């Protein structure tokens, strides 16, 4: 099994991040509400101990989302402590050994002025968002979101009192100047999401790391360049892969054959077969491998298909 690459880290005072981590092997990280409450208690400890600003959160069965500000430029230390401590407490309670989370957490730098509102709404909609991209959020699930207790949604909507100073509500200003106005506009924005497809903010991610302005992107590149060595090399490599995938998205627009989409994303975009298996109708990874092999065999016999695949190859080279 290939080792997972160590996620890139760009840290500076005042940075804001979207932080997410999944359960090991995508398994549940909470078995019951006591586990969820214990995780939040550990988050509260991390906020106090490391001076974090927690702007929003959402706990899902096998992963969590946090929107975190770091006045002290200490994201890695804080999140490392959080996951290590929560794992120890989970294991002690359930009398189990081993990892709880799937490797290190993922973190994207966020330009709050531009993306805070979009991200908070997107993260809070997690409990009712359909798993399949492009599907509408069912209107009938609105009451389910209203009742959902394991996110900061109810606080932003004014449905419950703030849980304490550990949840920073400065970002409510993005919905209104007064708290009442912010609650009203936030609720209206969430209502508008039902019956619609939700735009994915990660489509705007630059270099796999930055959700924000060109200025923030340049600052991140400069900080990585200061580190030098393998960190800078990995940044360059990941940025190249991101550009290839963006180019593929453009080249595949209008292509009706999902087999060609799968082939291009794995062969040219370096995406994993197991991820394609999950995304395209619950296939197995071996089924994806077989699909690709048969497509390539067909291309050896059919000139039009061969030309289509070669055109995709050539188009990707332009992005490199």
pLDDT band at residue 315 under the 50/70/90 scheme: confident
CB of 2 closer than 8 Å to CB of 33: no
Distance between CA atoms of 26 and 62, rounded to whole angstroms? 6
**Residue 212 exposed, middle or buried by CB count within 10 Å (0-12, 13-18, 19+):** buried
pLDDT band at residue 227 under the 50/70/90 scheme: low
Beta bridge partners of 101: 23
Provide DSSP, 20-88: EEEBGGG--S-SSHHHHHHHHHHHHHHHHHHT-EEEEEEEETTEEEEEEEETTS-HHHHHHHHHHHHHH
Distance between CA atoms of 62 and 180, rounded to whole angstroms? 34
pLDDT band at residue 5 under the 50/70/90 scheme: very low
pLDDT per residue as tens digits for the range 43-87: 999 999 999 999 999 999 999 999 999 999 899 889 999 999 999
Residue labelled with tokens 């709880």? 100
Assigned CATH topology for domain 15-211: Alpha-Beta Plaits (3.30.70)
Domain locations along the chain: 15-211, 235-317
Q: Is the pLDDT of residue 234 over 50?
A: no
Distance between CA atoms of 79 and 85, rounded to whole angstroms? 10
pLDDT per residue as tens digits for the range 188-210: 999 999 999 988 888 888 877 88
What is the per-residue pLDDT for 241?
Answer: 62
What is the per-residue pLDDT for 320?
Answer: 52
Q: Is the pLDDT of residue 2 over 70?
A: no
Give me Rg for the CA atoms of the chain: 21
What is the per-residue pLDDT for 6?
Answer: 45
Distance between CA atoms of 166 and 171, rounded to whole angstroms? 14
Beta bridge partners of 22: 63
Distance between CA atoms of 58 and 95, rounded to whole angstroms? 26
DSSP H helical ranges for the chain: 33-50, 75-94, 112-124, 142-147, 153-156, 179-193, 214-227, 229-251, 258-267, 273-279, 285-301, 303-317
């Amino acid at each position: 099994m290939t080792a997972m690459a160590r996620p890139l880290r760009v840290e500076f005072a005042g940075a804001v991040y979207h932080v997410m981590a999944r359960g090991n092997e995508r398994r549940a990280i909470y078995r019951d509400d006591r586990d969820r409450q214990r995780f939040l208690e550990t988050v509260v400890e991390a906020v106090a101990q490391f001076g974090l600003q927690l702007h929003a959160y959402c706990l899902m069965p096998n992963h969590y989302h946090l929107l975190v500000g770091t006045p002290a430029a200490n994201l890695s230390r804080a999140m490392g402590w959080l996951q290590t401590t929560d794992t120890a407490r989970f294991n002690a309670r359930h009398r189990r050994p081993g990892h709880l989370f799937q490797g290190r957490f993922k973190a994207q730098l966020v330009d709050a002025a531009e993306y805070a509102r979009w991200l908070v709404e997107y993260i809070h909609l997690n409990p009712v968002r359909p798993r399949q991209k492009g599907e509408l959020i069912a209107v009938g699930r609105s009451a389910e979101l209203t009742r959902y207790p394991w996110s900061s949604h109810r606080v932003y909507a004014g449905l419950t009192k703030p849980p304490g100073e550990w949840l920073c509500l400065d970002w409510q200003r993005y919905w209104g100047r007064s708290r009442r106005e912010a609650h009203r506009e936030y609720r209206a924005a969430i209502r508008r999401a039902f019956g619609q497809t939700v735009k994915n903010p990660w489509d705007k991610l630059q270099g796999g790391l930055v959700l924000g302005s060109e200025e923030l992107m340049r600052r991140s590149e400069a900080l990585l360049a200061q580190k030098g060595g393998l960190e800078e090399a990995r940044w360059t490599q990941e940025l190249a892969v991101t550009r290839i995938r963006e180019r593929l998205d453009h080249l595949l627009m209008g292509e009706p054959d999902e087999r060609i989409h799968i082939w291009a994303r794995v062969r040219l975009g370096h995406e994993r077969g197991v991820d394609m298996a999950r995304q395209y109708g619950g296939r197995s990874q071996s089924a994806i491998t077989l699909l690709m092999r048969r497509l390539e065999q067909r291309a050896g016999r059919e000139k039009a298909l061969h030309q289509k695949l070669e055109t995709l190859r050539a188009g990707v080279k332009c992005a490199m």
